[in-house]
Amino acid sequence: MNIERIDTTSDFEYILRDDLLSLSQEKQGPLHIALPGGRSVSPLMRALLSLPEETLGRTHLYLVDERLEGERNEDTLREAGLQAALDQGATLSVVSEGNILSEDPFDRLYLGVGEDGHIASLFPGSWPSDTEAQTMIVKDSPKPPKKRVTLSWQGFLTLAKEAKIYLIFLGEGKREALTRLLSGKEDAHTLPCSFFVHHPFHGTIIVTDLREDTP
């Protein structure tokens, strides 16, 4: 995977905007964009809202991770700008128990990486999974809330195999996970984000808002 080190989230926003504009010019028809929960989505929302309304009108967004207790990721995303994108014609599918998330492959997949290296609600110890379904329930998440629904490992394998993937390490707290990933010594069982390094995906690691001694 490529690595891009970015000084600020504003710079990240510009990169996302340019990439999405390029995608909209290269591809006719619907654009399939997969979103994470959490704070890494804020620059992505701003980038989406900078797109022409015609482009937003053919953009289908997918939330790959949802909480089943407490505040929902969807509500947080709507407050961060998702609602404005939907008002301009974008559509949204949210991962849910027992249902497929998409029949169409993703064009872009954005995933924030947690302090322990988790992506979506796939935490250390969850790989491999025996499910062939696109989605899976997490009943005892190590990070609150305990009950969640997430795109499964199999879901990522099938929907993101041709997508351009961004793994986002946002903030100082992600330094250890980044160092572990770059060491090449771990797999998805101990460091879930390494799943996208050890499988044939097209990805970019985004490092932003870390201090100057970033490895």
Burial (CB count <10 Å: 0-12, 13-18, 19+), residue 183:
exposed
Beta carbons of 181 and 205 less than 8 angstroms apart: yes
**pLDDT for the residue numbered 96:** 94
Strand-pair category, 148-151 with 108-112: unpaired
In angstroms, the CA 40 to CA 110 distance is: 9
pLDDT in tens, 179-199: 999 999 999 999 999 999 988
The better pLDDT of the pair 38, 215 is held by: 38
pLDDT in tens, 126-171: 998 888 899 999 999 999 999 999 999 999 999 999 999 999 998 8
State mean pLDDT over 45-63: 95
Which pLDDT band holds residue 17 (cuts at 50, 70, 90)?
A: very high
